[in-house]
Amino acid sequence: MSTAIATPHATRSTAARQPAMSRLFLVCVVLAICIWGGNWPVMKFGSQFIPPLWFAASRFLSAALLSFAIAALIGKLRLPTRQEWPVVIGVGVLQMGLFTALVTGALHFVMPGRASLIAYATSIWVVPGAALVLKHKLNGRQSLATVCSYVGIAVIVLPALLHADLHSMIGYLMLGAASLSWAMNILQIKLTPGVKLDFDLLPWQTLVAAVPLCVLATLVDGAPTFLADPHSWGVIAYTGPLATALTFLIVLQMTQRLSPVTVSVCMLGVPVVGLTLSSLIFGERLSPDLLLGMGLLCLGLLLPALPAMGWRRLAIKG
């Protein structure tokens, strides 16, 4: 199921022959998007009483403990091979640890709705990166979906940036760095053919993320005194086992099965869900620019999921 990319010709052929997502896989993708979208208001709530570094550390430590236990029970606990370790470290450091620490810290400066849009705008980095590093050529659907996502991001983010104070700008810069971190990991995975991102590697990926975060959290924030608050356990249960152990496995499968551009566009569904929930829970106003941007992002999300034959028929009729 992995996508091997050895030459520019192979990359173009893979992009041209990329199959439509199966119905079951599409359901899993939608599930992951909804869970991660719900994770943003949960993180905003938890950031009120859990320090940022401990928040990220507890998320991945709980996910690591759970995934190690499950892997041992089902007989899939093993050490990664020499070829797999770079991917394990890349996912653990870039996509899990650094990304989560940055976005959790940014939530102290900005509201979760627009914040999630900037953090998940990986297409800003992935599209030029895929063209330069992977020699990836966009097909018709990918090009149109990318244009929709770029315009949607611009409509939503630019007004906030133009009116941001220094306090908010710090948060936006942290979110931009988080987005870049994840984009780098997407490209790394596509440059590492032959490594399957199955459940076997998830315990080690979460452990790689958890260990340095726990050390940093202890040095910066001291002992995890927040555990005395009963609310923290519910937040950790959602962000760790559910929004990490389960959801990361689905997203990593997406990263390996689909093109990097399609993955980055699909992930924009997370902030659409997050922004909607943020408006309901925290009263974040759905202004006209947000609604227009969300509409464009939704259009960009639907295009990669259209069956190839249906797209060709639509193109012929048009």
Predicted confidence (pLDDT) per residue in 189-204, tens digit: 888 877 887 788 989 9
**Please, which pLDDT band fits residue 205 given cuts at 50, 70 and 90?**
very high
68's torsion region: left (phi>0), alpha (psi -120 to 50) or beta?
alpha
**Please, which pLDDT band fits residue 289 given cuts at 50, 70 and 90?**
confident
The span from the CA of 274 to the CA of 284, in Å, is 11
Cβ–Cβ < 8 Å for 267, 40: no
The span from the CA of 149 to the CA of 267, in Å, is 10
Residue 272 has pLDDT above 80, yes or no: no
pLDDT of residue 306: 58
| pLDDT tens by residue, 129-154 | 777 777 777 777 777 877 887 888 78
The span from the CA of 75 to the CA of 291, in Å, is 47
Highest mean pLDDT among 1-5, 34-38, 141-145, 290-294: 34-38
What mean pLDDT is reported for the chain?
A: 79
Q: Helical H runs in the chain?
A: 8-16, 23-46, 52-73, 85-90, 99-106, 112-119, 123-133, 140-162, 166-190, 202-221, 230-237, 247-257, 260-266, 269-281, 288-305, 308-317
Residue 246 has pLDDT above 50, yes or no: yes
Phi (first) and psi of residue 48, to 5 degrees: -75, -25
Task: Give the contacts of 2 (CB within 8 A, at least 6 positions apart).
Answer: 193, 194, 195, 196, 256, 257
**Please, which pLDDT band fits residue 84 given cuts at 50, 70 and 90?**
very high
The percentage of residues in the chain with a pLDDT greater than 90, rounded to a whole number, is 21
pLDDT of residue 163: 77
Residue 311 has pLDDT above 50, yes or no: no
How much is the pTM?
0.71
Residue 65 has pLDDT above 90, yes or no: yes
Choose the weakest-confidence range: 101-105, 121-125, 177-181, 191-195: 121-125
**Please, which pLDDT band fits residue 301 given cuts at 50, 70 and 90?**
low
Choose the weakest-confidence range: 230-239, 263-272, 284-293, 299-308: 299-308
pLDDT of residue 192: 85
Question: Stretch 102-108: mean pLDDT, rounded?
Answer: 85
The residue assigned the tokens 């993180």 is: 43
